[in-house]
Amino acid sequence: MRSGFTGVQKWCPWLWAGDQSVDFSRHDGLVTVICAALSSGLLGNAYHHSDIGGYTSLFGNVRTAELLMRWAEMAAFTPVMRSHEGNRPRDNVQLDGDGEVLRHFARMTAIYVHLASYLKTLSQEATNRGLPVQRPLFLHHEKDRRTYAIQDSYLYGPDMLVAPVWQPSQQERTLYLPAGTNWVHVWTDQSFSGGEDITVSAPLGQPAVFYRSDSAFAVLFSALRDV
């Protein structure tokens, strides 16, 4: 389902983001999926997912290999990782139509599978407490006022922070890390104390992902560098 009403989670185990545009646009592209996941999660929908690469091609916009790969990076850190050919498949790049895209998607799939044990605990938490898998930063950092306005990054459970690259031709990501927590950058093992804006390198295959240094899953997260 992609829409509903109060209590819809009883009937809708997986909420779907709908038909995003196959581009990086601010109000209908990749980043809007994050906003949708966070708002629906606060309304009681624990699970959210989107079409990797978007769906809608209109007025000449077409999916690029870069968009498809960036979308896959985000989806690897969500409850459900699912692709879609789009409404005009012949005009758009597909997973099996480009070798680099296919290799990238295979690796992102391996990352998704690697985190299965963590996702299982988040699913159990959703059952027991009603907490969504993808969460706004302020849900666990309510005393940090800066977290309330952030719409382009999210917590993947309590222990991971994901800041996908959602603009074209970007090789780094500037983001805010909540204060009071020591964060570890997955790909470099660099530690950050939080409470300030930082900029990290984010080439294809290495989205800006961090984990709490005191997490019970720290060993699992650190092993992502070898996936």
Give the pLDDT band (50/70/90) at residue 12: confident
Is the same domain home to 104 and 67?
Answer: yes
> Is residue 215 scored above 80 in pLDDT?
yes
- Structural domain that includes position 204: 134-226
| pLDDT confidence of residue 161 | 98
Of 85, 114, 143, the residue that ends a domain is: 114
Answering whether pTM is above 0.85, one says yes
Residue 124 lies in a domain: no
pLDDT class of 19 with cuts at 50, 70, 90:
very high
Q: Report, as an integer, the average pLDDT of 83-87.
A: 95
Same domain, yes or no, for 99 and 141?
A: no
In 3D, which of 126, 141, 132, 124 has the Cα closest to residue 210? 141
On whether both 104 and 151 belong to a single domain, the answer is no
Confidence of residue 1 (pLDDT cuts 50, 70, 90): confident
What pLDDT score was predicted for residue 123?
Answer: 96
Asked whether residue 209 falls in the same domain as residue 142, the answer is yes
The predicted model gives 57-74 an average pLDDT of 96
Residue 2 banded pLDDT, cuts 50, 70, 90? confident
Q: Would you state the structure tokens that stand for residue 38, as one six-digit string?
A: 């966070």
The number of beta carbons lying within 10 Å of the beta carbon of residue 68 is 24
What is the Cα–Cα distance from 37 to 45, expressed in whole angstroms? 9
Q: Dihedrals φ, ψ of 193, to 5°? A: -80, -15
Residue 25 has, within 13 A of its CA and on its CB side, a CA count of 13
Domain holding 170: CATH number? 2.60.40.1180
- Mean pLDDT of the chain, nearest integer: 95
- The pLDDT confidence band at residue 74, using thresholds 50, 70 and 90, is very high
pLDDT at 196: 93
